[in-house]
Structure 1
Amino acid sequence: MSRRSAALRTEDLEPLATFLGGDPPAAGVTRPVGVPNSTSGSTVPPCWQWCLLLDPVDPARLDDDGCPVGGPITPNPGMTRMFAGGRVVTKAPLELDVPTTRTTRTSSTADKQGRRGPLRFVTLESVWTQRGETRLIDEQDYVFTRNAPSSEGGADRHPGASHVALRESQGPARDPLAPGQIRVTEPMLVAFSGLTANPYRIHWDKAFCARAGHDGLVIHGPLQALWLAGEFARRGRSFTGRTFSYRFTATATAPGVMTLGEGDDGALAVRRPDGIVTATATLD
């Protein structure tokens, strides 16, 4: 179990606000895709808690892959971790300048036998409380599979999902983006790893990614989920009393351009340049 407490401050939001598109704009200015219309005020935007009250990273306790030794979501030897998705139940938004506690525990584990070998399912639950009340219940689901031979692909792949690198076009490096597009760069992924205290090498080490069968840095699942949550917020959808559910269906790598737009049955989706959906989310 992990527990951290502190009062959340406006300046705690500034690093992620800058990362997602700069300081909050003046009234009437359109925010970048996937960013709420306002990051100011007295509450934390949806899912921004993923960059708050983080456990410190001790480099001396990281394994060769960049995972904490003995951590609840650190793969055992011969196994690979995939972030499958999760849910955030918002009973009330997190307030700024209020004492806040985040308590994280392993809420469930299950071992099953898949077509290609053993599978382990692990869910982490983080409960965020303020003023003696639960504000958020944040669950994240992970799947552990055996390492695939090099002919079958590499780490962080979803079973049955195809894979493609997101390569920039031959045109200028900063061609204008179409509505709904998000340019993903390698420095962007390195920066997001720092914002989320995630030292896993799959997001910042190109040589590590190549050995795992990827031809670029793997785009973080939580980053895609943040885009989706931000787009719901940008469209004026309230998260209070609702569950934001997201799942990841395919791997994508950077550098390149992802597209955020409509999915099926009221969902939003993130797509790779080849049109494959890599993440979906609903707000119910």
Structure 2
Amino acid sequence: MDLDIDHLRGWIGREDSATERLSADLVHRFAATFDRSWSLKQGAEAPPLIHLCLAQPTVAGAGLGEDGHPARGGFLPPVPLPRRMWAGGAFRFHAPLRIGDAVTRRSTITDVALKHGRSGPLLFVTVEHKIRARGRLALTERQDLVYRAAAPFKPSTARPAAEGGEVRRLTPGPVLLFRYSALTFNGHRIHYDRPYACEVEGYPGLVVHGPLQATLLVQFAAELKRACPSRFAFRSVSTVFDTADMELHASCEGHSLRLWTAQAGGPVAMEATASW
């Protein structure tokens, strides 16, 4: 497949923005999804990464592709490669969002790059998100998206993940995945449509969202250090499915935490570093 990288790089600099009020009802649903509790009082500090549930792109059904994602060629470049995944990114927390805030997301495409892997071409799109509330910057995010050709899923041959100094285990069942998709208005069918995930994309089960894993790791880090990190960077290296339990691991490295997720008995899926 020929990729016109010069044409696709023409999307660099393209912007998109939206504003949504952070309601107590959203925090309540977010807390229920993660089996946690946060204050629902007006002005109370909202949980970290709840911004991923706010001001998301809203596209009518007619504007979606077969996979449930918005069709390419709007804000994101029209990459002809069919598989799209969240490959990694970073967050920098400047100030907490609070219940009642009008939260504005301004997104800018900062890079489009073509690389080649063992399975063929990989097209990386980097997006910068700036989240503002109460007239100031609350959070900056770098989001790395990767597009690749359709290919049969091959289980990772990497060795099982090491055990961290702190470990949490949970079951990423279909209800959790569906609820998180609903919270983030994410129509990607690999997260809730088992026949599509298994029969069309060739996965052994439903795929656990990258943002969901990142949110669990940030919550884990905040729990261990009793404070939300100021910086959090992560990279996805393999896939977690709803077919077995999932593990969260953490180990101290100076004033930082090294964190990772893994399917029970499987290799590292997401690796991250949190710092304060």
TM-score, structure 2 normalization? 0.80
Q: State whether structure 2 residue 265 is matched by structure 1 residue 274.
A: yes
Partner of 1:84: 87
1:142 corresponds, among 131, 140, 145, to 145
* Distance change >3 Å, CA 85–CA 184, structure 1 → 2: same
* Distance change >3 Å, CA 269–CA 15, structure 1 → 2: same
The 5 A counterparts of 1:1-284 are 1-24=15-38, 42-70=44-72, 71-72=74-75, 76-148=79-151, 150=152, 153=153, 161-162=156-157, 180-211=168-199, 212-239=201-228, 242-263=230-251, 265=253, 266-284=257-275
Partner of 2:164: none
Structure 2 regions of 5+ residues with no counterpart?
1-14, 159-166
Q: How far did residue 78 of structure 1 move?
A: 4.1
Letter aligned with residue 204 of structure 2: D
1:159-196 deviation digits (Å, cap 9, x = unpaired): xx349xxxxxxxxxxxxxxx611111112212211111
Q: How far did residue 21 of structure 1 move?
A: 0.4
* Distance change >3 Å, CA 73–CA 202, structure 1 → 2: farther
Q: How far did residue 14 of structure 1 move?
A: 1.1
**What secondary structure does 2:44 align onto?**
coil
Task: Work out which structure has the larger RCO, using CA pairs closer than 8 Å and 6 or more positions apart in sequence.
Answer: 1
| C-alpha contact 2:170 2:245 (8 A) present in aligned 1 | yes
Q: How far did residue 238 of structure 1 move?
A: 3.4
Q: How far did residue 231 of structure 1 move?
A: 0.6
Letter aligned with residue 21 of structure 2: A
Q: How far did residue 282 of structure 1 move?
A: 1.2
* Distance change >3 Å, CA 17–CA 75, structure 1 → 2: farther
State the distance in 2 between where 1:264 and 1:113 align: 34
CA RMSD in angstroms comes to 2.6
Q: How far did residue 99 of structure 1 move?
A: 3.0
* Distance change >3 Å, CA 82–CA 162, structure 1 → 2: farther
| C-alpha contact 2:238 2:268 (8 A) present in aligned 1 | yes
State the distance in 2 between where 1:22 and 1:84 align: 27
| C-alpha contact 1:259 1:273 (8 A) present in aligned 2 | yes
* Distance change >3 Å, CA 112–CA 264, structure 1 → 2: farther
Seq. identity, %: 31
Structure 1 regions of 5+ residues with no counterpart?
25-37, 164-178
Letter aligned with residue 53 of structure 2: C
**What secondary structure does 1:140 align onto?**
strand
Q: How far did residue 74 of structure 1 move?
A: 7.5
Q: How far did residue 72 of structure 1 move?
A: 4.7
| C-alpha contact 2:81 2:147 (8 A) present in aligned 1 | no
Letter aligned with residue 280 of structure 1: E
* Distance change >3 Å, CA 73–CA 256, structure 1 → 2: farther
1:217-267 deviation digits (Å, cap 9, x = unpaired): 111111111110001111235346x21111111112114311112258431
State the distance in 2 between where 1:97 and 1:190 align: 26
| C-alpha contact 1:105 1:126 (8 A) present in aligned 2 | yes
Aligned length: 248
**What secondary structure does 1:245 align onto?**
strand
1:121-157 deviation digits (Å, cap 9, x = unpaired): 1112110112322111011111112222x3xx27xx8
**What secondary structure does 2:241 align onto?**
strand
Q: How far did residue 208 of structure 1 move?
A: 1.5
Letter aligned with residue 232 of structure 1: A
